[in-house]
Structure 1
Amino acid sequence: MSLTYEDRRSTILKQLDMEGKVQVHLLSAEFNVSTETVRRDLDRLEKEGKLRKVYGGAVKVRSDRVEPPFLKRAQMMQREKASIGKLAASLIGEGETVILDNGTTTIEILGHLRNRPDVTLITHSVPILAAAMDTFAGKIIFAGGEINRHYQAATGALTDQLLDQFKVNKAFISVGGISLVDGITDYHLDEAVLSRKIMQRAEESILVADHTKFGVTTFARVSKLEEVSMVITDPGCPRDWIDSVEALGIEMRISS
């Protein structure tokens, strides 16, 4: 019995979400239909705005090429980010030193460290620094440098050199996208370079990301997905993604 268009459509979209691309000849063999049928399917999905056809197949549409400003991002997925932040904070042990990457998910960790004077916090994020000075009781180290007003963070060679001076227990990383093919990516090259540096300076790198980041590839690569030891996300993360990440030997934690 041959698959209906709706069945093929569902499979194509699922493969795009997980892998970022599909190939005509592989879909033809999988569905047991002609390559012409697959191309017609891809034509229909392209008209729906679900994909972009390329030679030999199709790739996932990248609709969010420009990252929204920090304040706007802070208002997106608020409940999910808050629950992720709570779970992440619970993993910080007594007396540990941690780095919080610049991001609207990592800043949620701070609210759960109010009564943790034993913790040392390092960050290059201006919003995280400002919030920490108001609410955090532990030691604060700002990895300063030239302040980028758009990122609201210190960036550049001086920040990179300052981060080289530290070795920390845990780094909490916030990124633009998570892909099985392209790894962890960010919207800005400078931010991606610093996130990579932060990971290098930590004994354990923990990725904090709400479910909308999965299956997304943005401009600049941070690292392979396998280079983090844990991913913390919210219950909206699809089961297929949880299974795929765990298959790479990465621990998945789901917030409540």
Structure 2
Amino acid sequence: MSLTYEERRQTILAQLEMDGKVQVHALAELFNVSTETIRRDLDRLEKEEKLRKVYGGAVRMRSEMIEPVFLKRSQMHQSEKQAIGKLAASLVEEGETVMLDNGTTTLEIMRQLKDRADVTVITNSVVIMTCALEDFQGKVIFAGGEVNLSYQAATGPIAHNMLDQFKVNKAFISAGGVSLADGITEYNLEEALISRKMMQRAEESILLVDHSKFGVTTFAQIAPIEQISMIITDQGCSQEWIDALHRLDVEILVSE
């Protein structure tokens, strides 16, 4: 018995979630239906704003091509970010030096580390630096450079040259999206390059993303998923994504 549209729809959306794209001929073969049927399915899904049709198939709809400002981001999925930050901070061992890139979730790590006098934090984030100056008991180093007022972070050659001076235990990285096809991505090229540099200067790179970032591709690639040592996320992350990351030998921790 052939599948109904609703059954095909569920599978198409699941594949978009994992791969970011689907192909007409592959779907026709999978469902044992004509390519015309698949094209009609994609037409309907496009009208529902679930995808965008391209030549030969469709890609996941990007609802926001421009990243929200820092304040707005800090209010999105706030409880999940706090839980992720708490779990990430618990991984910082005595005497370690860590790098925190510019993100609302990495900011939560800084808040959790405030009483850790034995820890050194290196960051390019003005917001994280400001947080550290308030009540952090450890050592903080600002990787300075040209400060982007929109992103409230230092970027550019000076920041890169400063990060090159250090070798640290852990880099905690945030991202705009995580995709099997496109890897770990960020909205802004300069921020993506800083995050990539931090990964290169760390013994272990840990990605912090809430469940809304999975299956999303933004503008600039930070790194392929396989280059990350561990991903910390929240309970909204689907089992399909957890299984996919395990197949890539990427450790995943889910916060409470």
Query: Which interval holds the TM-score relative to the shorter structure?
Result: over 0.9
- For structure 2, the 5+ residue unaligned runs are none
Q: TM-score, normalised by structure 1?
A: 0.99
Tell me whether 1:63 sits opposite 2:63 in the alignment. yes
Tell me whether 1:126 sits opposite 2:104 in the alignment. no
In structure 2, give the amino acid aligned to 1:44.
R
Match of 1:203 in 2: 203
- SS of the aligned residue for 2:58 comes to strand
Match of 1:227 in 2: 227
Match of 1:26 in 2: 26
How far is 1:111 from its partner? 1.8
How far is 1:235 from its partner? 0.3
In structure 2, give the amino acid aligned to 1:26.
A
Match of 2:162 in 1: 162
In structure 2, give the amino acid aligned to 1:111.
R
How far is 1:114 from its partner? 2.1
Tell me whether 1:47 sits opposite 2:83 in the alignment. no
RMSD: 0.6
- Structure 1 Cα separation of the partners of residues 60 and 75 of structure 2: 26
- Structure 2 Cα separation of the partners of residues 119 and 18 of structure 1: 37
- Map 1:3-152; keep pairs closer than 5 Å: 3-152=3-152
Q: How many aligned positions are there?
A: 256
How far is 1:181 from its partner? 0.3
- Structure 2 Cα separation of the partners of residues 52 and 75 of structure 1: 28
- For structure 1, the 5+ residue unaligned runs are none
In structure 2, give the amino acid aligned to 1:237.
C
In structure 2, give the amino acid aligned to 1:205.
S
Post-superposition CA distance 1:160-217 (Å, at most 9, x none): 0000000000000011000000000000010011110010000000000100000000
In structure 2, give the amino acid aligned to 1:235.
Q
- SS of the aligned residue for 1:165 comes to coil
Match of 1:186 in 2: 186
- Structure 1 Cα separation of the partners of residues 5 and 120 of structure 2: 56
- Structure 1 Cα separation of the partners of residues 229 and 203 of structure 2: 10
- Structure 2 Cα separation of the partners of residues 193 and 112 of structure 1: 26
- Structure 2 Cα separation of the partners of residues 57 and 114 of structure 1: 49
Q: TM-score, normalised by structure 2?
A: 0.99
Match of 1:236 in 2: 236
- SS of the aligned residue for 2:63 comes to coil
- Structure 2 Cα separation of the partners of residues 115 and 159 of structure 1: 27
Ranges of 4+ aligned residues in structure 1 off by more than 2 Å: none
Identical aligned residues as a percent:
66
In structure 1, give the amino acid aligned to 2:79.
R
- Structure 1 Cα separation of the partners of residues 16 and 77 of structure 2: 23
- Structure 2 Cα separation of the partners of residues 118 and 151 of structure 1: 29
- Structure 1 Cα separation of the partners of residues 55 and 112 of structure 2: 49
